[in-house]
Each structure stands twice: as C-alpha cells, then as structure tokens.
Amino acid sequence: MKDFDENINRMITETGLERTEINKLVKLFIESIQNYIDEIEVAIINNNFKQIKIISHKLKGASANLRFFEISDCSAELELAADKCDLYLCSSNFRKLLLILGKYTN
C-alpha cells in the first residue's frame, strides 16, 4: 500500500485535485484494469500482437495519467514486445504486469 499512497499523494501535489476527486479517478481506473487484463490475456492466447499492442498502449497511457509509473513502464515493455511479435516476451511482461497490479488491487 505504500506505493499506492505515494502515488495518491503525488497526484494531489501534481494535479491540485482534492483527495476525493483523486480517489474517484483511481477507483474508476482500478475497475477498468480487469477489462484490460482480460483483453490482453485473450490476445496473448490468440497470438494477436496487434491487439496486445493496442491494449497495452491504452493501459500505459491511463496509468501514466494517474502517476502509476510502474504500471505504465511495464505496459510500455509489453507494447514493445508485441511490436516485435515476441510471444515469450509478451507472456513474461504480462506476468510481471499482473504482479505489479496485485500491489494496487489487493
């Protein structure tokens, strides 16, 4: 939770938004994460590198906007792996992403 609290405080400082507004944004983001994860998982199973790239790009941007840079960086790595059509690297980065997300959603 330390990472989560640090991100919330960073968002408040950098955006000037109130904590209640930030909490609403973060809640929406966390709710949307599962859709991204499900879509990436299906795309990996189907070797659909174009879809992996599109979804990981969306997740990269959404997480960066909310100052969740660890999620954003991992999503960027996944996007690059998809661009290279490297299934092993996509799967590896996806597992890494799941571990990182677990810190924020559990």
Fold (CATH) for 2-105 = Four Helix Bundle (Hemerythrin (Met), subunit A) (1.20.120)
45 — pLDDT class (breaks 50, 70, 90): very high
Distance CA(93)–CA(41), nearest Å, equals 11
> How distant, in Å, are the alpha carbons of 27, 87, 98 from that of 7?
13, 31, 18
Which residue ranges make up each domain of the chain? Answer: 2-105
* pTM recorded for the entire structure: 0.85
State the pLDDT at residue 51.
98
Average pLDDT over residues 85-106: 91
Average pLDDT over residues 31-51: 95
